[in-house]
A and B are shown apart, each in its own frame.
Chain A
Protein backbone atom coordinates (compact mmCIF):
# COMPACT_ATOMS: atom_id res chain seq x y z
CA UNK A 1 0.00 0.00 0.00
CA UNK A 2 1.71 3.16 -1.10
CA UNK A 3 1.05 6.46 0.61
CA UNK A 4 0.55 5.00 4.07
CA UNK A 5 2.92 5.41 6.99
CA UNK A 6 4.38 2.20 8.27
CA UNK A 7 3.22 1.00 11.62
CA UNK A 8 4.27 -2.30 13.11
CA UNK A 9 0.75 -3.58 13.66
CA UNK A 10 -0.68 -3.13 10.18
CA UNK A 11 1.69 -5.85 8.96
CA UNK A 12 -0.30 -8.36 10.98
CA UNK A 13 -3.86 -7.36 10.13
CA UNK A 14 -3.17 -6.15 6.59
CA UNK A 15 0.08 -7.73 5.37
CA UNK A 16 1.30 -6.31 2.07
CA UNK A 17 0.88 -9.03 -0.59
CA UNK A 18 0.58 -9.24 -4.35
CA UNK A 19 -3.15 -9.80 -4.28
CA UNK A 20 -6.03 -8.86 -2.01
CA UNK A 21 -6.89 -12.53 -1.52
CA UNK A 22 -3.35 -13.22 -0.26
CA UNK A 23 -3.56 -10.32 2.18
CA UNK A 24 -6.89 -11.69 3.44
CA UNK A 25 -5.46 -15.19 3.91
CA UNK A 26 -2.32 -13.99 5.64
CA UNK A 27 -4.06 -11.52 7.97
CA UNK A 28 -4.16 -12.44 11.65
CA UNK A 29 -7.80 -11.38 11.72
CA UNK A 30 -8.86 -14.26 9.46
CA UNK A 31 -8.85 -17.98 10.28
CA UNK A 32 -5.89 -19.99 8.96
CA UNK A 33 -8.33 -22.24 7.13
CA UNK A 34 -10.34 -19.44 5.50
CA UNK A 35 -11.81 -20.80 2.26
CA UNK A 36 -11.94 -17.63 0.18
CA UNK A 37 -10.36 -19.37 -2.83
CA UNK A 38 -13.00 -22.07 -2.62
CA UNK A 39 -15.90 -19.59 -2.86
CA UNK A 40 -18.66 -20.99 -5.11
CA UNK A 41 -20.52 -17.69 -5.39
CA UNK A 42 -23.55 -19.59 -4.07
CA UNK A 43 -24.86 -16.56 -2.19
CA UNK A 44 -25.58 -18.32 1.13
CA UNK A 45 -23.77 -15.42 2.78
CA UNK A 46 -25.89 -12.73 1.18
CA UNK A 47 -29.16 -14.56 1.70
CA UNK A 48 -28.52 -14.92 5.43
CA UNK A 49 -27.00 -11.48 6.01
CA UNK A 50 -28.92 -8.93 8.10
CA UNK A 51 -27.15 -6.01 6.43
CA UNK A 52 -27.96 -7.36 2.95
CA UNK A 53 -31.59 -7.60 4.02
CA UNK A 54 -31.87 -3.86 4.54
CA UNK A 55 -29.03 -2.25 2.56
CA UNK A 56 -27.10 -2.70 -0.68
CA UNK A 57 -24.31 -4.57 1.12
CA UNK A 58 -23.71 -7.84 -0.73
CA UNK A 59 -21.08 -10.13 0.79
CA UNK A 60 -21.11 -12.47 -2.21
CA UNK A 61 -20.16 -9.56 -4.48
CA UNK A 62 -17.53 -8.33 -2.00
CA UNK A 63 -15.85 -11.74 -2.13
CA UNK A 64 -16.06 -11.77 -5.94
CA UNK A 65 -14.33 -8.36 -6.09
CA UNK A 66 -11.62 -9.48 -3.67
CA UNK A 67 -10.97 -12.56 -5.80
CA UNK A 68 -10.77 -10.32 -8.88
CA UNK A 69 -8.25 -8.18 -6.98
CA UNK A 70 -10.45 -5.12 -7.33
CA UNK A 71 -8.79 -2.76 -4.85
CA UNK A 72 -11.64 -0.24 -5.14
CA UNK A 73 -13.65 -2.58 -2.92
CA UNK A 74 -12.05 -0.97 0.12
CA UNK A 75 -13.70 2.30 -0.85
CA UNK A 76 -17.12 0.70 -1.10
CA UNK A 77 -19.15 2.31 1.65
CA UNK A 78 -21.42 -0.72 1.95
CA UNK A 79 -18.71 -2.75 3.74
CA UNK A 80 -19.35 -0.55 6.79
CA UNK A 81 -22.83 -2.07 7.07
CA UNK A 82 -21.55 -5.49 8.21
CA UNK A 83 -22.81 -6.35 11.71
CA UNK A 84 -19.95 -8.77 12.51
CA UNK A 85 -22.64 -11.29 13.44
CA UNK A 86 -20.73 -14.09 11.67
CA UNK A 87 -23.87 -15.60 10.14
CA UNK A 88 -22.10 -15.75 6.74
CA UNK A 89 -19.15 -17.37 8.48
CA UNK A 90 -21.48 -20.06 9.89
CA UNK A 91 -23.52 -20.62 6.72
CA UNK A 92 -20.70 -20.77 4.14
CA UNK A 93 -20.39 -24.33 2.81
CA UNK A 94 -16.74 -23.70 1.85
CA UNK A 95 -15.47 -22.32 5.15
CA UNK A 96 -15.12 -18.84 3.77
CA UNK A 97 -15.85 -15.92 6.07
CA UNK A 98 -17.03 -12.72 4.38
CA UNK A 99 -17.27 -11.02 7.79
CA UNK A 100 -13.57 -11.67 8.45
CA UNK A 101 -12.70 -10.54 4.93
CA UNK A 102 -14.60 -7.30 5.53
CA UNK A 103 -12.66 -6.74 8.76
CA UNK A 104 -9.43 -6.87 6.75
CA UNK A 105 -10.85 -4.60 4.03
CA UNK A 106 -11.89 -2.06 6.65
CA UNK A 107 -8.42 -2.12 8.21
CA UNK A 108 -6.96 -1.51 4.74
CA UNK A 109 -9.42 1.35 4.27
CA UNK A 110 -8.47 2.85 7.63
CA UNK A 111 -4.78 2.66 6.68
CA UNK A 112 -5.65 4.80 3.66
CA UNK A 113 -7.56 7.31 5.74
CA UNK A 114 -11.00 6.03 4.75
CA UNK A 115 -13.58 5.83 7.53
CA UNK A 116 -11.50 7.79 10.02
CA UNK A 117 -14.50 9.96 10.76
CA UNK A 118 -16.04 6.87 12.33
CA UNK A 119 -12.87 5.90 14.11
CA UNK A 120 -11.80 9.23 15.55
CA UNK A 121 -14.55 9.27 18.19
CA UNK A 122 -12.86 6.14 19.56
CA UNK A 123 -9.41 7.65 19.98
CA UNK A 124 -9.85 7.98 23.73
CA UNK A 125 -10.84 4.33 24.06
CA UNK A 126 -7.27 3.08 24.11
CA UNK A 127 -6.24 5.55 26.79
CA UNK A 128 -9.20 4.64 28.98
CA UNK A 129 -8.39 0.99 28.44
CA UNK A 130 -4.75 1.54 29.36
CA UNK A 131 -5.68 3.39 32.53
CA UNK A 132 -8.63 1.38 33.82
CA UNK A 133 -8.47 -1.93 31.93
CA UNK A 134 -12.06 -1.63 30.81
CA UNK A 135 -13.82 -0.78 27.57
CA UNK A 136 -16.02 2.25 27.56
CA UNK A 137 -18.56 3.41 25.03
CA UNK A 138 -17.39 6.79 23.65
CA UNK A 139 -19.09 9.83 25.17
CA UNK A 140 -20.44 10.89 21.80
CA UNK A 141 -22.50 7.70 21.65
CA UNK A 142 -23.40 7.85 25.33
CA UNK A 143 -24.91 11.26 24.59
CA UNK A 144 -27.19 9.66 22.02
CA UNK A 145 -28.10 6.91 24.47
CA UNK A 146 -29.06 9.59 26.97
CA UNK A 147 -31.49 11.03 24.44
CA UNK A 148 -32.88 7.60 23.63
CA UNK A 149 -33.35 6.16 27.09
CA UNK A 150 -35.68 7.21 29.85
CA UNK A 151 -35.13 8.58 33.33
CA UNK A 152 -34.66 5.12 34.86
CA UNK A 153 -31.43 4.70 32.90
CA UNK A 154 -30.16 8.19 33.75
CA UNK A 155 -30.78 7.64 37.44
CA UNK A 156 -29.14 4.25 37.48
CA UNK A 157 -26.07 5.56 35.63
CA UNK A 158 -25.62 8.35 38.17
CA UNK A 159 -25.94 5.78 40.88
CA UNK A 160 -23.85 2.96 39.41
CA UNK A 161 -21.43 2.58 42.33
CA UNK A 162 -24.15 2.25 44.93
CA UNK A 163 -26.18 -0.10 42.70
CA UNK A 164 -23.12 -2.30 42.36
CA UNK A 165 -22.31 -2.28 46.06
CA UNK A 166 -25.95 -3.17 46.87
CA UNK A 167 -25.43 -6.22 44.64
CA UNK A 168 -22.24 -7.08 46.49
CA UNK A 169 -20.00 -6.16 43.54
CA UNK A 170 -16.67 -4.33 43.73
CA UNK A 171 -15.26 -1.61 41.54
CA UNK A 172 -15.42 -1.84 37.76
CA UNK A 173 -11.80 -0.91 37.09
CA UNK A 174 -8.96 -3.40 36.98
CA UNK A 175 -6.41 -3.61 39.75
CA UNK A 176 -2.98 -4.25 38.32
CA UNK A 177 -0.85 -3.83 41.44
CA UNK A 178 0.38 -0.39 40.39
CA UNK A 179 2.56 -1.88 37.68
CA UNK A 180 0.73 -0.19 34.85
CA UNK A 181 0.80 -3.52 33.06
CA UNK A 182 -1.86 -2.79 30.52
CA UNK A 183 -0.33 0.52 29.44
CA UNK A 184 3.12 -1.09 29.23
CA UNK A 185 1.76 -3.94 27.09
CA UNK A 186 -0.10 -1.63 24.71
CA UNK A 187 2.98 0.60 24.50
CA UNK A 188 5.31 -2.33 23.82
CA UNK A 189 3.09 -3.95 21.24
CA UNK A 190 2.86 -0.69 19.26
CA UNK A 191 -0.80 0.12 19.87
CA UNK A 192 -0.20 3.77 20.78
CA UNK A 193 2.14 4.25 17.84
CA UNK A 194 -0.59 3.02 15.53
CA UNK A 195 -3.18 5.17 17.26
CA UNK A 196 -0.91 8.21 16.92
CA UNK A 197 -0.62 7.53 13.19
CA UNK A 198 -4.39 7.31 12.85
CA UNK A 199 -4.83 10.50 14.85
CA UNK A 200 -2.38 12.27 12.59
CA UNK A 201 -4.16 11.02 9.50
CA UNK A 202 -7.49 12.11 10.89
CA UNK A 203 -6.05 15.60 11.40
CA UNK A 204 -4.44 15.98 8.02
CA UNK A 205 -6.37 13.83 5.58
CA UNK A 206 -9.87 14.52 4.53
CA UNK A 207 -11.85 11.33 4.74
CA UNK A 208 -13.13 10.06 1.40
CA UNK A 209 -16.66 9.83 2.69
CA UNK A 210 -18.23 11.41 5.71
CA UNK A 211 -21.35 10.51 7.61
CA UNK A 212 -21.35 13.89 9.30
CA UNK A 213 -20.79 16.73 6.84
CA UNK A 214 -21.25 19.33 9.57
CA UNK A 215 -17.80 18.53 10.91
CA UNK A 216 -15.53 18.95 7.91
CA UNK A 217 -12.47 19.96 9.86
CA UNK A 218 -11.51 16.44 10.88
CA UNK A 219 -10.56 17.87 14.27
CA UNK A 220 -10.35 15.40 17.07
CA UNK A 221 -12.25 16.46 20.11
CA UNK A 222 -10.59 14.87 23.07
CA UNK A 223 -13.72 15.38 25.16
CA UNK A 224 -15.49 12.91 22.89
CA UNK A 225 -13.78 10.10 24.64
Chain B
Protein backbone atom coordinates (compact mmCIF):
# COMPACT_ATOMS: atom_id res chain seq x y z
CA UNK B 1 0.00 0.00 0.00
CA UNK B 2 1.26 3.47 -0.88
CA UNK B 3 1.99 5.66 2.14
CA UNK B 4 0.88 9.27 2.15
CA UNK B 5 4.32 10.53 3.15
CA UNK B 6 5.81 8.94 0.04
CA UNK B 7 3.51 10.67 -2.46
CA UNK B 8 5.71 12.97 -4.59
CA UNK B 9 5.08 16.63 -5.33
CA UNK B 10 8.00 17.03 -7.75
CA UNK B 11 8.71 15.66 -11.22
CA UNK B 12 5.06 14.97 -12.01
CA UNK B 13 4.11 14.24 -15.62
CA UNK B 14 0.42 15.11 -15.66
CA UNK B 15 -0.80 12.39 -18.04
CA UNK B 16 -3.51 13.78 -20.32
CA UNK B 17 -6.69 11.79 -20.81
CA UNK B 18 -8.64 11.40 -24.06
CA UNK B 19 -12.03 11.69 -22.40
CA UNK B 20 -11.01 14.62 -20.18
CA UNK B 21 -9.71 16.42 -23.26
CA UNK B 22 -12.90 16.16 -25.27
CA UNK B 23 -15.66 15.89 -22.64
CA UNK B 24 -14.54 17.70 -19.48
CA UNK B 25 -11.44 19.77 -20.32
CA UNK B 26 -12.13 21.71 -17.08
CA UNK B 27 -10.80 18.72 -15.14
CA UNK B 28 -7.34 19.25 -16.64
CA UNK B 29 -7.34 23.03 -16.16
CA UNK B 30 -8.62 22.59 -12.59
CA UNK B 31 -5.83 20.14 -11.87
CA UNK B 32 -3.09 22.43 -13.18
CA UNK B 33 -4.66 25.34 -11.26
CA UNK B 34 -4.68 23.34 -8.01
CA UNK B 35 -1.18 21.97 -8.61
CA UNK B 36 0.19 25.49 -9.15
CA UNK B 37 -1.55 26.80 -6.02
CA UNK B 38 -0.14 23.91 -4.01
CA UNK B 39 3.40 24.34 -5.31
CA UNK B 40 3.46 21.01 -7.12
CA UNK B 41 6.13 20.68 -9.83
CA UNK B 42 4.44 19.22 -12.89
CA UNK B 43 4.69 19.04 -16.67
CA UNK B 44 2.08 18.53 -19.38
CA UNK B 45 3.65 17.22 -22.59
CA UNK B 46 2.09 17.43 -26.03
CA UNK B 47 4.28 14.48 -27.05
CA UNK B 48 2.33 12.14 -24.76
CA UNK B 49 -0.25 9.99 -26.51
CA UNK B 50 -3.42 8.45 -25.19
CA UNK B 51 -2.93 5.17 -23.27
CA UNK B 52 -5.09 3.04 -25.67
CA UNK B 53 -7.28 2.05 -22.69
CA UNK B 54 -10.51 2.67 -24.55
CA UNK B 55 -9.36 0.45 -27.42
CA UNK B 56 -8.01 -2.17 -25.00
CA UNK B 57 -11.28 -2.46 -23.10
CA UNK B 58 -13.30 -2.34 -26.31
CA UNK B 59 -11.41 -5.64 -26.99
CA UNK B 60 -9.70 -4.12 -30.03
CA UNK B 61 -6.21 -3.38 -28.73
CA UNK B 62 -4.06 -6.30 -27.63
CA UNK B 63 -1.68 -6.24 -24.67
CA UNK B 64 1.52 -6.05 -26.75
CA UNK B 65 0.40 -2.99 -28.77
CA UNK B 66 -0.83 -1.28 -25.62
CA UNK B 67 2.48 -1.99 -23.90
CA UNK B 68 4.49 -0.58 -26.82
CA UNK B 69 2.47 2.66 -26.79
CA UNK B 70 2.96 2.87 -23.02
CA UNK B 71 6.73 2.40 -23.43
CA UNK B 72 6.76 5.36 -25.84
CA UNK B 73 5.01 7.51 -23.23
CA UNK B 74 7.46 6.34 -20.57
CA UNK B 75 10.24 7.63 -22.83
CA UNK B 76 8.46 11.01 -23.02
CA UNK B 77 8.44 11.10 -19.19
CA UNK B 78 12.10 10.08 -19.01
CA UNK B 79 13.35 12.51 -21.67
CA UNK B 80 11.65 15.42 -19.90
CA UNK B 81 12.86 14.34 -16.46
CA UNK B 82 9.29 14.10 -15.16
CA UNK B 83 9.03 10.45 -14.21
CA UNK B 84 6.18 10.49 -11.68
CA UNK B 85 3.44 9.66 -14.16
CA UNK B 86 0.20 10.99 -12.69
CA UNK B 87 -3.10 10.35 -14.42
CA UNK B 88 -6.45 12.15 -14.57
CA UNK B 89 -8.21 8.92 -15.51
CA UNK B 90 -8.31 5.64 -13.59
CA UNK B 91 -7.96 3.53 -16.74
CA UNK B 92 -4.79 5.39 -17.82
CA UNK B 93 -3.49 4.66 -14.32
CA UNK B 94 -4.12 0.91 -14.46
CA UNK B 95 -3.06 0.50 -18.11
CA UNK B 96 0.28 2.26 -17.53
CA UNK B 97 1.00 0.37 -14.32
CA UNK B 98 0.35 -2.98 -15.97
CA UNK B 99 2.47 -2.08 -19.01
CA UNK B 100 5.35 -1.02 -16.75
CA UNK B 101 5.13 -4.23 -14.70
CA UNK B 102 5.19 -6.29 -17.92
CA UNK B 103 8.16 -4.40 -19.36
CA UNK B 104 10.10 -4.99 -16.15
CA UNK B 105 9.18 -8.62 -15.53
CA UNK B 106 8.70 -10.13 -18.98
CA UNK B 107 11.89 -10.24 -21.05
CA UNK B 108 10.07 -11.34 -24.20
CA UNK B 109 7.74 -8.35 -24.08
CA UNK B 110 10.54 -5.88 -23.40
CA UNK B 111 12.79 -7.29 -26.13
CA UNK B 112 9.95 -7.32 -28.64
CA UNK B 113 8.91 -3.73 -27.93
CA UNK B 114 12.51 -2.53 -27.99
CA UNK B 115 13.27 -4.30 -31.26
CA UNK B 116 10.25 -2.59 -32.85
CA UNK B 117 11.58 0.77 -31.64
CA UNK B 118 15.05 0.05 -33.02
CA UNK B 119 13.79 -1.18 -36.39
CA UNK B 120 11.76 2.02 -36.74
CA UNK B 121 14.84 4.10 -35.96
CA UNK B 122 13.37 5.22 -32.67
CA UNK B 123 16.28 4.13 -30.48
CA UNK B 124 15.63 6.92 -27.99
CA UNK B 125 12.38 5.19 -27.00
CA UNK B 126 14.05 1.95 -25.90
CA UNK B 127 12.88 0.89 -22.45
CA UNK B 128 15.55 -0.27 -20.01
CA UNK B 129 14.46 -2.85 -17.48
CA UNK B 130 13.42 -1.30 -14.14
CA UNK B 131 14.01 2.25 -15.39
CA UNK B 132 10.52 2.92 -13.99
CA UNK B 133 8.85 1.15 -11.09
CA UNK B 134 5.22 0.08 -11.52
CA UNK B 135 4.39 1.24 -7.98
CA UNK B 136 6.70 4.19 -7.24
CA UNK B 137 6.38 5.98 -10.60
CA UNK B 138 2.60 5.83 -11.11
CA UNK B 139 -0.01 7.95 -9.39
CA UNK B 140 -3.52 9.23 -9.82
CA UNK B 141 -4.19 12.96 -9.34
CA UNK B 142 -6.45 12.15 -6.39
CA UNK B 143 -3.44 10.72 -4.51
CA UNK B 144 -1.43 13.91 -5.00
CA UNK B 145 -4.39 16.00 -3.82
CA UNK B 146 -4.91 13.71 -0.81
CA UNK B 147 -1.29 14.20 0.21
CA UNK B 148 -2.04 17.94 0.31
CA UNK B 149 -5.46 17.65 2.00
CA UNK B 150 -4.48 19.62 5.10
CA UNK B 151 -3.11 22.48 3.03
CA UNK B 152 -6.19 22.44 0.79
CA UNK B 153 -8.36 22.66 3.93
CA UNK B 154 -6.29 25.57 5.22
CA UNK B 155 -6.54 27.48 1.92
CA UNK B 156 -10.21 26.65 1.32
CA UNK B 157 -12.24 29.81 0.76
CA UNK B 158 -15.70 28.23 0.45
CA UNK B 159 -18.20 27.29 3.13
CA UNK B 160 -19.17 23.73 2.24
CA UNK B 161 -20.93 23.08 5.57
CA UNK B 162 -24.30 21.46 5.06
CA UNK B 163 -23.40 20.31 1.55
CA UNK B 164 -23.99 16.55 1.45
CA UNK B 165 -21.05 15.16 -0.54
CA UNK B 166 -20.43 11.54 -1.59
CA UNK B 167 -17.55 10.01 -3.51
CA UNK B 168 -17.54 7.61 -6.42
CA UNK B 169 -14.06 6.10 -6.51
CA UNK B 170 -13.17 4.75 -9.94
CA UNK B 171 -12.93 0.94 -10.24
CA UNK B 172 -9.73 0.91 -12.29
CA UNK B 173 -7.91 2.92 -9.63
CA UNK B 174 -8.57 0.67 -6.64
CA UNK B 175 -9.75 -2.73 -7.90
CA UNK B 176 -7.14 -3.72 -10.49
CA UNK B 177 -3.90 -3.22 -8.54
CA UNK B 178 -5.66 -3.12 -5.18
CA UNK B 179 -2.48 -3.70 -3.15
CA UNK B 180 -1.10 -0.38 -4.39
CA UNK B 181 -4.07 1.89 -3.70
CA UNK B 182 -4.06 4.32 -0.79
CA UNK B 183 -6.39 2.91 1.83
CA UNK B 184 -8.81 0.02 1.97
CA UNK B 185 -10.12 -1.13 -1.43
CA UNK B 186 -13.28 -2.41 0.25
CA UNK B 187 -14.01 1.07 1.50
CA UNK B 188 -12.04 3.71 -0.43
CA UNK B 189 -11.97 7.11 1.29
CA UNK B 190 -9.47 9.22 -0.66
CA UNK B 191 -12.02 11.65 -2.09
CA UNK B 192 -14.02 11.67 1.15
CA UNK B 193 -10.95 12.76 3.10
CA UNK B 194 -10.22 15.68 0.76
CA UNK B 195 -13.87 16.84 0.83
CA UNK B 196 -13.87 16.60 4.63
CA UNK B 197 -10.78 18.77 4.88
CA UNK B 198 -12.85 21.47 3.15
CA UNK B 199 -15.62 21.18 5.70
CA UNK B 200 -18.20 19.37 3.55
CA UNK B 201 -20.81 17.11 5.15
CA UNK B 202 -19.40 13.85 3.76
CA UNK B 203 -21.53 10.72 3.39
CA UNK B 204 -18.80 8.11 3.82
CA UNK B 205 -20.92 5.09 3.04
CA UNK B 206 -23.98 4.63 0.90
CA UNK B 207 -25.49 1.45 -0.48
CA UNK B 208 -23.42 0.11 -3.38
CA UNK B 209 -20.63 2.63 -2.89
CA UNK B 210 -18.19 0.28 -4.62
CA UNK B 211 -20.49 -0.65 -7.53
CA UNK B 212 -19.23 0.37 -10.98
CA UNK B 213 -20.62 3.55 -12.56
CA UNK B 214 -22.04 1.31 -15.29
CA UNK B 215 -20.11 2.71 -18.25
CA UNK B 216 -18.26 -0.55 -18.88
CA UNK B 217 -16.42 0.93 -21.90
CA UNK B 218 -18.45 -0.58 -24.76
CA UNK B 219 -21.43 -1.41 -22.51
CA UNK B 220 -22.93 2.09 -22.55
CA UNK B 221 -22.91 1.91 -26.35
CA UNK B 222 -23.58 -1.76 -27.08
CA UNK B 223 -25.62 -2.77 -23.99
CA UNK B 224 -27.11 0.62 -23.23
CA UNK B 225 -30.09 -0.62 -21.20
CA UNK B 226 -27.94 -2.81 -18.96
CA UNK B 227 -25.45 0.01 -18.48
CA UNK B 228 -28.14 2.51 -17.47
CA UNK B 229 -29.75 0.01 -15.07
CA UNK B 230 -26.52 -0.10 -13.09
CA UNK B 231 -26.13 3.68 -13.11
CA UNK B 232 -29.73 4.08 -11.96
CA UNK B 233 -29.10 1.78 -8.96
CA UNK B 234 -26.32 4.09 -7.83
CA UNK B 235 -28.27 7.28 -8.45
CA UNK B 236 -31.19 5.88 -6.41
CA UNK B 237 -28.82 5.00 -3.61
CA UNK B 238 -27.25 8.48 -3.67
CA UNK B 239 -30.72 10.00 -3.65
CA UNK B 240 -31.73 7.88 -0.64
CA UNK B 241 -28.61 9.07 1.16
CA UNK B 242 -29.64 12.68 0.52
CA UNK B 243 -26.51 13.48 -1.47
CA UNK B 244 -26.22 16.91 -3.15
CA UNK B 245 -22.85 16.56 -4.84
CA UNK B 246 -21.02 13.48 -6.14
CA UNK B 247 -17.26 13.78 -6.58
CA UNK B 248 -15.52 11.75 -9.28
CA UNK B 249 -11.96 10.81 -10.22
CA UNK B 250 -12.44 9.43 -13.72
CA UNK B 251 -13.90 11.07 -16.84
CA UNK B 252 -15.67 7.87 -17.89
CA UNK B 253 -17.59 7.72 -14.60
CA UNK B 254 -18.34 11.43 -14.86
CA UNK B 255 -19.79 10.98 -18.36
CA UNK B 256 -21.91 8.13 -17.08
CA UNK B 257 -23.34 10.14 -14.17
CA UNK B 258 -23.39 13.70 -15.43
CA UNK B 259 -24.36 13.05 -19.05
CA UNK B 260 -26.71 10.13 -18.46
CA UNK B 261 -28.46 11.36 -15.29
CA UNK B 262 -30.85 13.49 -17.40
CA UNK B 263 -31.31 10.52 -19.77
CA UNK B 264 -32.23 8.21 -16.87
CA UNK B 265 -34.54 10.87 -15.42
CA UNK B 266 -36.36 11.02 -18.74
CA UNK B 267 -36.49 7.28 -19.39
CA UNK B 268 -37.48 6.26 -15.86
CA UNK B 269 -39.67 9.30 -15.12
CA UNK B 270 -37.71 10.32 -12.07
CA UNK B 271 -35.71 13.29 -10.82
CA UNK B 272 -32.37 13.55 -9.05
CA UNK B 273 -31.29 16.75 -7.34
CA UNK B 274 -27.66 15.71 -7.60
CA UNK B 275 -24.77 17.47 -9.30
CA UNK B 276 -21.42 16.02 -10.33
CA UNK B 277 -17.85 17.19 -10.60
CA UNK B 278 -14.33 15.86 -10.50
CA UNK B 279 -12.36 16.09 -7.26
CA UNK B 280 -9.87 18.40 -9.01
CA UNK B 281 -12.70 20.77 -9.98
CA UNK B 282 -13.85 20.72 -6.33
CA UNK B 283 -10.36 21.46 -5.03
CA UNK B 284 -9.82 24.21 -7.63
CA UNK B 285 -13.09 25.86 -6.52
CA UNK B 286 -12.01 25.60 -2.89
CA UNK B 287 -8.73 27.29 -3.80
CA UNK B 288 -10.52 30.20 -5.48
CA UNK B 289 -10.73 29.14 -9.14
CA UNK B 290 -13.17 30.79 -11.53
CA UNK B 291 -15.99 28.31 -12.23
CA UNK B 292 -16.05 29.29 -15.92
CA UNK B 293 -12.48 30.07 -16.83
CA UNK B 294 -10.84 27.31 -14.80
CA UNK B 295 -13.38 24.66 -13.79
CA UNK B 296 -15.08 24.68 -17.19
CA UNK B 297 -18.49 23.74 -15.80
CA UNK B 298 -20.16 24.80 -19.02
CA UNK B 299 -19.31 21.44 -20.59
CA UNK B 300 -21.36 19.61 -17.94
CA UNK B 301 -24.81 18.22 -18.75
CA UNK B 302 -26.30 18.67 -15.27
CA UNK B 303 -26.15 22.44 -14.74
CA UNK B 304 -24.24 23.57 -11.66
CA UNK B 305 -25.47 27.19 -11.47
CA UNK B 306 -27.91 26.67 -8.59
CA UNK B 307 -25.40 24.61 -6.65
CA UNK B 308 -22.68 27.21 -7.12
CA UNK B 309 -24.89 30.06 -5.91
CA UNK B 310 -25.84 27.97 -2.89
CA UNK B 311 -22.18 27.78 -1.86
CA UNK B 312 -21.69 31.48 -2.59
CA UNK B 313 -19.78 31.18 -5.87
CA UNK B 314 -20.89 33.77 -8.40
CA UNK B 315 -21.33 32.48 -11.94
CB <8 Å contact, A119 and B64: no
Q: Please give the number of chain B residues whose Cβ is less than 8 angstroms from any Cβ of chain A in the complex.
A: 80
Kindly report which residue of chain B lies nearest to residue A142, judged by CB atoms: B221
Q: How far is the CA of A24 from the CA of B102 in the complex (A)?
A: 16
Kindly report which residue of chain B lies nearest to residue A85, judged by CB atoms: B212
CB <8 Å contact, B120 and A54: no
Q: How far is the CA of A55 from the CA of B174 in the complex (A)?
A: 25
Give the size range of A's interface with the partner. Answer: 35 or more
Which residues of A lie under 8 Å from residue B300 when comparing CB positions? 152
A110 and B185 in contact, given A171-B46, A185-B69 (Cβ under 8 angstroms): no
**How far apart are B49's CB and chain A's nearest CB, in angstroms?**
3
**How far apart are A153's CB and chain B's nearest CB, in angstroms?**
6
Report whether over half of chain A's contact residues are helix, strand or loop; otherwise say mixed. helix
Report whether over half of chain B's contact residues are helix, strand or loop; otherwise say mixed. helix
Q: How far is the CA of A83 from the CA of B292 in the complex (A)?
A: 34
Which residues of A lie under 8 Å from residue B106 when comparing CB positions? 28
Kindly report which residue of chain A lies nearest to residue B219, judged by CB atoms: A83
Asked whether B164 is an interface residue with its Cβ less than 8 Å from the other chain, the reply is: no
Q: How far is the CA of A167 from the CA of B55 in the complex (A)?
A: 28
Question: Which chain A residues in 99-146 approach chain B with CB under 8 Å?
Answer: 103, 106-107, 110, 115, 118-119, 122, 125-126, 129, 133-138, 140-141, 144-145
Asked whether B288 is an interface residue with its Cβ less than 8 Å from the other chain, the reply is: no
Binding site for B on A (CB under 8 A): 9-10, 12-13, 27-29, 32, 50-51, 53-55, 80-87, 89-90, 103, 106-107, 110, 115, 118-119, 122, 125-126, 129, 133-138, 140-141, 144-145, 148-150, 152-153, 156, 160, 163-164, 166-172, 174-177, 179, 181-182, 184-191, 194-195, 211
Of all A-B residue pairs in the complex, the 7 with the closest CB atoms, nearest first, are A133-B49, A83-B216, A85-B212, A188-B116, A28-B63, A86-B175, A184-B120
